[in-house]
Amino acid sequence: MIYVTRPHLPDRARLDSYLDRVYGSNQLTNNGPLLRELTERLENYLGVTNLLLVANGTIALQLALRLLKIEGRVITTPFSFPATTSAIIWQGAQPVFADIDAETFNVDPAEVAAGLEEPAGGMLVTHVYGNPCDVDALDQLAKKANVPLIYDAAQAFGVRGATSVLLHGDISILSLHATKIFHTLEGGALVIRDDALFEEAERMINFGFGDGGEILGVGINGKMNEFEAAMGLAMLDEIQYIQEGLKRVYSIYEENLPESLLRPRWHSGYSRSHSYCPVLFDSESTLLRVQARLHEHEIYPRRYFRPSLDTVDVYGHPGNCEVSQDIVNRILCLPQYAALEDQQVLEICGLIHSVTD
Ligand code: T4K
């Protein structure tokens, strides 16, 4: 079976050497030594400061919204994972969907500007497939409207231009879930621009406790544990191998997929994470035929993202994002992970050709 992704498991002896340290210290969680070491190494690797490791990417989004005291209308994208919208609603705010650009699949700044014509509490937008949004335009819009801006960079680990993409906006969040290029089993992170807000976030994920154990704010338990940090350290030791593998697989797709299949227009000036291989078909019926052909061969691509989040009834705020509603019906993410063999990628390309040619 070939799934859309396959989590990387680092060398067992390497992981064990980190786990031995946990067994030696008996410190299993609560800001332990491995967590502190991983935080420092990730800050260096990503080129950021004020990075806070947490339990998962979803709680990172919820914390970001809470830290920035975002209420009321939140301008957001309909083309993302459900966590992006549900975090807004969970915080008691109201998602207002701005449609996406038909070429990048990221939120369209002109649509965001339209959403900001009425008073808004903030913006939460996604770097879809790790492809940076039009960050310059969005940063400007947030500044002009004087609202906080959160980037859901769950899929954008390691993406950088002149600097890390995570340095845009007030807060960027990462998912470090098992299916991501770099993972800690479950996990997430916030990168917080403001120092005072970062200190508040450190307290917030630990029940609101200050250094002396006094309760300084309403907190929650959002901590990452030492086993997860051990996995992160072992993963980081192998990140170059993972990235090279993803790049190899992606380039085989690029050379061998039908030219008629559209790919997102990637933001020039930024590195590519190669974590996802989305392809856009001319119609949903072609997509369904390709999917069925791949399933016959036990190959399971995924329809990331679907549905368009502005159409989800339980979110209670249906929108009318025509571009997103069209794209979700035609986009398919092909299997993409470092351990995929050249021959397997070529087989997938051949099966797609057999339907589209
Ligand atoms: N914002 C965005 C833009 C996101 O993409 C995500 C997460 C979030 C926020 C929230 O972050 P977290 O709270 O999750 O940290 C997967 C991931 O679970 C999810 O983290 C990720 N985005 C999303 C894009 O993909 P599903 O529902 O597709 O997961 P699942 O279990 O169907 O896994 C996909 C395939 O991976 C499976 O078909 C088989 C393979 N797999 C998966 C797991 C977990 C394995 O082989 N082994 C495994 O252990 O969401």
**The model scores a pTM over 0.95:** yes
Residue 192 CB contacts under 8 Å (≥ 6 apart), including other chains:
50, 52, 67, 170, 171, 198, 201
Q: How many other C-beta atoms lie within 10 A of the C-beta of residue 289?
A: 16
pLDDT the model gives residue 318: 73
Mean of pLDDT values over 151-159: 98
The two three-digit tokens of residue 20, written as one number: 């031995």
Pocket lining: 3 vs ligand 1, CB cutoff 6 Å:
yes
32 lines ligand 1 (CB under 6 A): no
The rounded Å distance from CA 181 to ligand 1 centre is: 11
User: For ligand 1, is residue 169 a contact (CB within 6 Å)?
Assistant: no
Q: What is the pLDDT of residue 153?
A: 98
Residue nearest to atom 46 of ligand 1 (CA): 6
Q: Ligand 1: which of 61, 81, 185, 273 to mutate, most ligand atoms within 8 Å of CB?
A: 81
Residue 31 per-residue DSSP state:
S
The CB of 6 under 6 Å from ligand 1? The reply is yes
CB proximity list for 89: less than 8 A, separation 6 or greater: 95, 315, 316
Per-residue pLDDT at 144 exceeds 90: yes
Q: Write the pLDDT tens digit of every residue in 291-329.
A: 999 999 999 999 999 999 999 999 986 789 999 999 999
Read off the pLDDT of residues 212-268 as tens digits, 9 standing for 90 and up: 999 999 999 999 999 999 999 999 999 999 999 999 999 999 999 999 998 899 999
Decide whether any atom of ligand 1 lies within 6 Å of the 122 Cβ: no
Residue 92 has pLDDT above 90, yes or no: yes
Q: How far apart are CA 282 and CA 49, in angstroms?
A: 43
Nearest CA owner, ligand 1 atom 50: 179
CA atoms within 13 A on the CB side of 224: 35
What does 145-186 look like in DSSP terms, one character per residue? HT--EEEE-TT-TT-BSSSBGGGSSSEEEEE--TTSSS--SS
